[in-house]
Amino acid sequence: HGELLADVEGALWKYDDIEGPRLSDAPSSLPRVVIGVDPAGTANRRSDETGIIVCARDAVGEYYVLADRSGKYSPNGWAMAVDAAWDMYEADAVVAEDNYGGDMVEQNLRANRVNKRLIRVHSRRGKVLRAEPIVGLYEQRKVHHVGLLADLEEQMTTWQPYEDRDSPDRVDALVHAMTELAGKARTADIASPSRLRHPRPQARGAFTR
């Protein structure tokens, strides 16, 4: 995959900023683990993939991209993929954009009885402005990809936002998750209080209804 991941002029991410801090294993203790979700609009053959990216933060402010579970799913299929990732990585929240996509995530998880804590990140700024603080963390070598996440990394290093207005699904899911972990957006909404029988500490600014 090396050729696919070469730097592209106009792309936000540089491959060296991903490769340099890469780890083969994640730390054993990660206080926060979230799953960023960017749903496809439809489940037909031409639809975009649903982005499902698992990210974490440790106690000293380092970040980890643990898994990419994105794919072309039916609504039930991606709900089950989120559920499986939640259990495998002991996540404490699902993160989605506070717009139509967030509504879709909440409704679909509930419809499939996947009762997880949902945090919705507000999206008044453009996609580039939202991504830039996350790119900055990569430039500081504070984000560690655990293993090779080739499809995600290809999107990150080839998406040219000033030429292509539509940001890729995996990149959107990554930015949602990392924005929440970095505390760079207000958070809101808990999809299902029943999931919080043994709650983890809430993110800054989160609240329950």
Here the CATH number for the domain that contains residue 20 is 3.30.420.240
Q: Which structural domain range is residue 171 located in?
A: 15-195
Which residue in the block uniquely carries the two structure tokens 């439809």?
42
> Over 80: is that where the pLDDT of 13 sits?
yes
Q: Is residue 77 part of a domain?
A: yes
Prediction pTM value: 0.82
Q: Is residue 106 part of a domain?
A: yes
Q: Is residue 103 part of a domain?
A: yes
Q: What is the distance between the alpha carbons of residues 13 and 105, in angstroms, rounded to a whole number?
A: 27
Q: What is the distance between the alpha carbons of residues 187 and 183, in angstroms, rounded to a whole number?
A: 9
Q: What is the pLDDT of residue 160?
A: 86
Q: Is residue 9 part of a domain?
A: no
Domain count of the fold of the chain: 1
pLDDT tens sequence across 32-61: 999 999 998 755 544 589 999 999 999 999
- CA-to-CA dists, residue 79 to 24, 51, 73, 93, angstroms: 28, 12, 9, 14
Amino acid code (one letter) for 181: L
pLDDT tens sequence across 119-158: 998 876 677 888 999 999 999 999 999 999 999 999 999 9
Cβ count within 10 A of residue 124: 9
- CA-to-CA dists, residue 134 to 102, 106, 141, 143, 190, angstroms: 20, 25, 11, 9, 24
* Phi-psi sector, 81: left (phi>0), alpha (psi -120 to 50), beta: alpha
Q: Is residue 55 part of a domain?
A: yes
Confidence of residue 87 (pLDDT cuts 50, 70, 90): very high
| Strands 32-38 and 51-57, bridge-based pairing | antiparallel
Q: What is the pLDDT of residue 47?
A: 58
> Over 50: is that where the pLDDT of 190 sits?
no
Q: Is residue 1 part of a domain?
A: no
